[in-house]
Amino acid sequence: MGTVKVRYLEPKRLKDGTTAYIWNNRHAVKAGLVREWLGTNLAAAIARAEALNALWDAIRKGEPGTPAPAPGTVAWLAGELVDGRWRAEHQARPLKTQREIEAALELVKRSPVGRFRLTEISGEDVKALHGRIAEATSLDAAHRTCKWLRWLLGRAVHAKLIASNPTIGLRLKRPTPRRVYWLEDQVETAIAAAAAMGRASIGLALRLAFDLGQREGDVLRLRTAQYDRGDVVITQGKTGATVRVPALPELRAELEGARDRLFVVLSEETGRPYALFNFIHWVRKVIDAAGLAEFGLRFSDLRRSAVVRLAQAGCTVPEIAAVTGHSLQRVEQILETYLPRTSPAARAAIEKVLEQRRRDRAAAERRQ
C-alpha cells in the first residue's frame, strides 16, 4: 500500500482491493475531533488530514476551534445550503421554513450521519438516524429531519455529487396526523376574546385564516391593496399559486375599514406587522383567554379547518382548492383525515338516497 507520512493518516484496504484513508487521532476524541474517513483520493485525504492536524495542534495550545466539515460529507453539503452554492435559494424561502430546515440539518450535522461521505450513506443509515432522533426528542422531529435530509440528498443527485438518493422508498414511521380543527363558534369566541384584550389584530388574523384558508405567513404579509372589489387576491409565498377569494360579509367589513394602512394585520403595540414568534405568542394568549386551551388548537390548524368547513357546506374538492390553493390531492388527503364522519352527515346522505327513490318512483308513474 505504500507508506503515508502524514500524522494520524492511516490507509485501509477495502474489500474491492482499493485503498481508503482514515484520520485516526485517538488523543483528539475528547476535543470533539473524531475518526474521519477521508475517501480513496490520496491527495484530498492528505489535505484534509493536514487541516485536522493543524486544528488539533491549535487546540493543544489552548486555542478554541472546531473542524470544518470534510468536503464531500453530508455535513459539508448541509453547509452548502446555508452558506454555499444554494444560499440564495435557501434565503428566498419563508423565514419560518428556513429555520425549520436549519434546525433539521443541524441535527443531521451533529449525528454520525453528518460525517458520512455522500457516496457512503445508505438507507439503513437514514433509518438509524430517524430512530435516534425519535427516541431522543420526538417522532415529529425525526420526520422533519429526514424530510429535509431527503431534500438535501436530492439536491446532491441533481448536482451529480451522487448517483441516487438513498432516502427514496424508505418506510419510516410517520407521526400521527393532527386531527384537531377549529369550529366556527370557536373562531368567533377567540375573536371576541382578542377584542376584549385590546388585540383586535389577532382576531382579524384568525378570521382571515379561517375564511380564506391561507397560511400564517401569507396572512401576516397581506396588504390592503390585495383587497379588490370584495375579493382578496393572494399569491402564496410557499407555492407561488394565486387565488382570488370573495370575502365573507364580516371579513369584508373589516377589510373596508383597513384601507388606510399598508398591511392588513398590524400590531397594536408597534403599529407594524407582527414578528412571527411575537404573533404566535399572542395567538396562544388569546386562545387561553378564550377558554379554548383544552382543545389543543393552533393558528396553523385554521387552514385545514377552512377545508373541513367548506366541505361541510357542500363544496366540491375543486371548489375548495380554488379557495385555499391546495392541490386537489392534498384537499382529498385533508378531508380523509379531518372530515368528521358525523350522524348529521350520514342522515343527509341517506336522505339523498330516499329522495332519489322518490324521483325514480315518480318517473315510473309518469311512464305508466
The domain limits of the chain are 9-60, 74-158, 184-344
Sign of CA dihedral 41, 47, 52, 53: positive
For the ranges 107-111, 176-180, 217-221, the maximum mean pLDDT occurs at: 217-221
Residue 67: pLDDT over 70: no
Which cell is 51 given?
A: 487541516
Cα–Cα distance between 2 and 8 in angstroms, integer? 15
Beta strands 19-23 and 9-13, pairing class: antiparallel
The predicted pLDDT at position 346 comes to 66
Which cell is 281 given?
A: 405568542
Mean local confidence (pLDDT), 321-350: 78
> Are the beta carbons of 265 and 205 closer than 8 angstroms?
yes
**pTM of whole model > 0.85?**
no
For 80, 87, 108, the CA distances from 153, given in Å and listed in that order, are: 12, 16, 12
**pLDDT greater at residue 96 or residue 153:** 153
Q: How would residue 208 be classed by pLDDT, with cut points 50, 70 and 90?
A: very high
Q: In the chain, what are the helix, strand and coil shares in percent, each to the nearest 5?
A: 55, 10, 35
Q: Tell me the pLDDT tens digit for each residue of 166-207.
A: 999 888 888 887 788 899 999 999 999 999 999 999 999 999
Q: Quick one: 2 exposed, middle or buried, by C-beta within 10 A (0-12, 13-18, 19+)?
A: exposed
Fold (CATH) for 184-344? hpI Integrase; Chain A (1.10.443)
| Residue located via cell numbers 382543545 | 295
- Of 261, 296, 269, nearest to 202 by C-alpha is 269
DSSP conformation class of 61: T
Sign of CA dihedral 79, 82, 88, 94: positive
Strand, coil or helix: 242? strand
Using only C-alpha atoms, what is the Rg of the chain? 28
User: What rounded mean pLDDT belongs to the chain?
Assistant: 87
Query: With pLDDT > 70 as the criterion, what percentage of the chain qualifies?
Result: 94
Q: Tell me the pLDDT tens digit for each residue of 240-295.
A: 889 999 999 999 999 998 888 999 999 999 999 998 889 999 999 999 999 999 99
The predicted pLDDT at position 1 comes to 46
Q: Tell me the pLDDT tens digit for each residue of 1-41.
A: 455 688 889 898 888 888 888 888 888 776 667 777 787 88
Q: Quick one: 62 exposed, middle or buried, by C-beta within 10 A (0-12, 13-18, 19+)?
A: exposed
- Of 112, 144, 115, nearest to 129 by C-alpha is 112
The predicted pLDDT at position 26 comes to 83
